[in-house]
Amino acid sequence: MQKYDVAIFGAGIVGAFIFDTLTLKGLKCVLIDKGEDVCLGASKANSGIIHAGYDCARDTLKAKFNVLGNKMYPEIAKRLGEPIGECGSLVVGDKDSLLILTELLNRGMYNGVKNLEILDRSGLEKLEKNLNKNIAYGLYAKDAKIISPYHFTIALVEESLLNGGEIKLNYNVNSIQRQNDGYLISDGKENFMANYIVNACAEGVNEIGSLVGEPAIPLTYTKGEYVLLDKDEFGLACRPIFPTPTKNSKGILACPTVNGNTFFGPTAEDIKEYETSVTLSGINKIKTSILKMIDNVNFKRIIKLYAGVRVKTGDDFYINFNENKNYFVIAGICSPGLSAAPAIAEYVANSLIEKGLQVKAIKFTPRRPYTNILKLSNQELSNLIKKDKNYGDIVCNCEKVTKGEILEVLNRTPFKLTTDGIKRRLRVTMGRCQGSFCYPRLIKIMADYYNCDEKEICFRGKESLIVCDIKEGGIYAE
Ligand SMILES: Cc1cc2nc3c(=O)[nH]c(=O)nc-3n(C[C@H](O)[C@H](O)[C@H](O)COP(=O)(O)OP(=O)(O)OC[C@H]3O[C@@H](n4cnc5c(N)ncnc54)[C@H](O)[C@@H]3O)c2cc1C
């Protein structure tokens, strides 16, 4: 039976960082998720900001791991070939905001954040052109950055798989038994062994915890809704712009993405159960908040609404290593979890190594970023098309993605992708038309590649089929 040093449950940004960090240290690891792809939870629907760390309460795990993680990102981005926007961030406010901004600056300095500065209106105008006239002051955090959180998660998993890591998707574990020589893990169909278990399942943390015999961790959920604007609105905000925060939230921000869009959000609504619907009241809250901060906004340019859920337990992250059980749990990783994830992964790795896991040198295989024709010179593109004409065949007109790029991703991904999986990797269907133009072609390319019927290509899980037969009398006919 297959035996691993570490089984990591949960393929969000936290699980992916732990998987990659441990694999690169030569440990034999498996990443397990109940979903059909990686990055299906909060890690795909957040603001993508690598916070500087001024916002976290003093002496918390959030503050410690955020500040450390922020410093780690640029080098990791370079290694993975992923874009990172080193644009800084602003918290802005009216003439009465100076006290709160100073409090944030002092907290940041206490947390170890460098390069913080309070700017007056003239300083702000040098950075941003669309600030509302009531904005008088701003806290400029030069070290804040932006990334694509789903690209990063996918890239980390790819790097780990290239370097010896293994993955099990659609794996619904139903038994975890401690034996003399490690844990026996089973979903009723496939069994394997692992010496250590790392539980990074966010909203599913207690599903794994209960199988290991751990008491339930109380969880609460806060939903954040967003609106995404068309690329022609890029530049409305040149960096994340936050309002002055309240006790419960950093507030609704305006933010660019590394792919050239602008988004507004998130709202912060406490919900009883994990769900990601978008609501009219959410959109209206976003509009009201943004207009207090930013001028020249054209809400007619909204192309997409979406939501993500922060899973919390208390006010801080909950990170606990039960050394007797060889069981690590990382729970309540709400914001700034994306920023903190690389540092959390280092901490988990160091704890496991101190406990006795042996680091081994590996022959590192670098991950190659996906081809992006928009980043090629005319000469490079022309050479590429000469080698493979599929790179001259545009499928997604809005984002300019070719059949060659889609086939490349299908070829290098060791599991069956959904259309949503292709979207997160290549941005196909993510542009102005949201797939109206390219969906039929994308489905056809995927069906041909997987040698299956177009009806078997899913949007997300198995329940989300896209193509169906239209019967006489319409699709609802008996
Ligand atoms: C609206 C919003 C905005 C945010 N903005 C920022 C930001 O700008 N900067 C920042 O630093 N942080 C931000 N965050 C926080 C950040 O998104 C999270 O901290 C981070 O994504 C959490 O990652 P995760 O891996 O713990 O969880 P997830 O990404 O939710 O991953 C958990 C994984 O576990 C899997 N899983 C669940 N149950 C099981 C099971 N039983 N078996 C196997 N797998 C299971 C799920 O399928 C999922 O893939 C934001 C969060 C939200 C919601």
477 in a domain, yes or no?
A: no
66 in a domain, yes or no?
A: yes
CA of 59 to the centre of ligand 1 (A): 23
Return d(Cα 396, Cα 232) in angstroms, integer. Answer: 17
470 in a domain, yes or no?
A: no
Which residue is associated with the tokens 């034996």?
179
CA-angle at 343, arms to 340 and 344, nearest 5°: 80
Q: Nearest CA to 267 among 249, 241, 280? A: 249
Same domain, 178 and 50: yes
Q: Residue 427 sits in a domain of what CATH number?
A: 1.10.10
Q: Nearest CA to 286 among 268, 274, 301? A: 268
Q: What confidence score (pLDDT) does residue 92 get?
A: 98
The answer, yes or no, to whether any atom of ligand 1 lies below 6 A from the CB of 334, is yes
**What range does the domain containing 52 cover?**
1-84+144-218+313-369
Q: What confidence score (pLDDT) does residue 227 get?
A: 97
Same domain, 162 and 59: yes
Positions of E strands within 60-148: 89-93, 116-120, 137-141, 145-146
Same domain, 365 and 382: no
CA of 25 to the centre of ligand 1 (A): 24
Q: What confidence score (pLDDT) does residue 472 get?
A: 67
349 in a domain, yes or no?
A: yes
Same domain, 23 and 75: yes
Mean pLDDT of the chain: 96
| Lookup: tokens for 213 | 């015999």
Helix (H, G, I), strand (E, B) or coil at 404: helix
Same domain, 356 and 377: no
The answer, yes or no, to whether any atom of ligand 1 lies below 6 A from the CB of 393, is no
CA of 202 to the centre of ligand 1 (A): 6
Q: What confidence score (pLDDT) does residue 477 get?
A: 55
Same domain, 292 and 243: yes
Q: What confidence score (pLDDT) does residue 475 get?
A: 58
Q: Is 185 exposed, middle or buried (0-12, 13-18, 19+ CB in 10 A)?
A: buried
Write out the chain's pLDDT in tens, 478 residues: 999 999 999 999 999 999 999 999 999 999 999 999 999 999 999 999 999 999 999 999 999 999 999 999 999 999 999 999 999 999 999 999 999 999 999 999 999 999 999 999 999 999 999 999 999 999 999 999 999 999 999 999 999 999 999 999 999 999 999 999 999 999 999 999 999 999 999 999 999 999 999 999 999 999 999 999 999 999 999 999 999 987 667 899 999 999 999 999 999 999 999 999 999 999 999 999 999 999 999 999 999 999 999 999 999 999 999 999 999 999 999 999 999 999 999 999 999 999 999 999 999 999 999 999 999 999 999 999 999 999 999 999 999 999 999 999 999 999 999 999 999 999 999 999 999 999 999 999 999 999 999 999 999 887 788 887 777 666 565 5
Same domain, 362 and 382: no
Q: What is the pTM of this model?
A: 0.96
The maximal CA–CA distance of the chain, rounded, in angstroms, is 69
Q: How many domains in the chain?
A: 3
Same domain, 289 and 409: no
Same domain, 421 and 437: yes
471 in a domain, yes or no?
A: no
Stated as kind and residue range, the H or E segment containing 175 is strand 175-179
464 in a domain, yes or no?
A: no
Q: Residue 340 sits in a domain of what CATH number?
A: 3.50.50.60
476 in a domain, yes or no?
A: no
Same domain, 388 and 440: yes
Which of the listed residues 331, 352, 369 is the one where a domain comes to its end? 369
Same domain, 380 and 414: yes
Q: What confidence score (pLDDT) does residue 26 get?
A: 98
* Residue among 145, 205, 338, 415 to mutate when testing ligand 1 (max atoms within 8 A of CB): 338
Residue 107 phi/psi, 5-degree rounding, is -60, -45
Instruction: Judge contact between 144 and 49, C-beta under 8 A.
Output: yes
Q: Residue 228 sits in a domain of what CATH number?
A: 3.30.9.10
Same domain, 206 and 232: no
Instruction: Judge contact between 220 and 270, C-beta under 8 A.
Output: yes
Please state, as a whole number, how many other Cβ atoms lie within 10 Å of the Cβ of residue 372.
Answer: 15
402 in a domain, yes or no?
A: yes
Q: What confidence score (pLDDT) does residue 478 get?
A: 53
Q: What confidence score (pLDDT) does residue 249 get?
A: 75
Return d(Cα 373, Cα 119) in angstroms, integer. Answer: 39
* Residue among 151, 170, 205, 335 to mutate when testing ligand 1 (max atoms within 8 A of CB): 335
Active-site residue numbers?
Answer: 51
